[in-house]
Amino acid sequence: MTKMFNALAITGVLLLSQAVLAQNVSIRGVRLSGSGCDAATASAVTTADGKTLSVLFDNYIAEIGQGSANPQLTSLKKDCHVLIDVDVPFGYQDALNQTEYRGFAALPKSAYGLHRFTQIIPGAPVASMKEAQLFGSLNSNYSVIVSTKPGREVYSQCNNKFQTIDLFSQLQLAYLPNTSDRSIAMLNLDTVDTGVNSRFKLIWRKCK
């Protein structure tokens, strides 16, 4: 199978009541870890203003079955932690309002896939989690969207200037029980046509 070069573009959209605050909000850096995005197969670039982050994946692909890189396996998991270090102005809290992951699935009838996504905000009491369940026969793009209704956002602790937001994703593949068809099955964290596979929106408020 031809290896594809995948791009994760993460854009922070800052919804602020004071224009001056936007100048003080920035992404300080990003760290990547996991079987789908280790240092050798992924890289991150932040724009000069610290507002936009791009992560480039070279190998965030899970595949099993005949003709794949793992022909003997009947199940496989790949995962990735994108740890985003953010500067939060004093007296403010932040929350993730919406995150969208896009992927591509090629599954025979004998296989199924899961794309799990969890977002963790420092100091927040709960983590947001969602998953897409994918069943063959399938050969198309898909998306996972985690959104929060107005008034139900989970905010970080107050006055925690340096924060790390953890965006964790996992791709899981397996064959259905009692099936003998081991045709190749594949999940890829990337829409094939655009290459943009994740967005998140940050919102802010004054500490209460």
Run means of pLDDT, 10 residues per run, the chain, 208 residues? 40 34 62 85 70 71 94 94 82 73 90 88 70 91 74 74 84 94 90 38 72
d(CA 139, CA 120) in angstroms, rounded, equals 31
The pLDDT value recorded for residue 25 is 57
pLDDT recorded at residue 92: 78
* Annotated domain spans of the chain: 6-206
User: Is there a contact between 166 and 81 (Cβ–Cβ < 8 Å)?
Assistant: yes
Supply the pLDDT for residue 112: 95
Contact call for residues 190 and 57 (beta carbons, < 8 A)? yes
Q: Phi first, then psi: what are they for 157, rounded to 5°? A: -65, 155
pTM for this prediction? 0.76
Q: Which residues lie closer than 8 Å to 46 by C-beta, 6 or more apart?
A: 27, 29, 30, 52, 53, 54
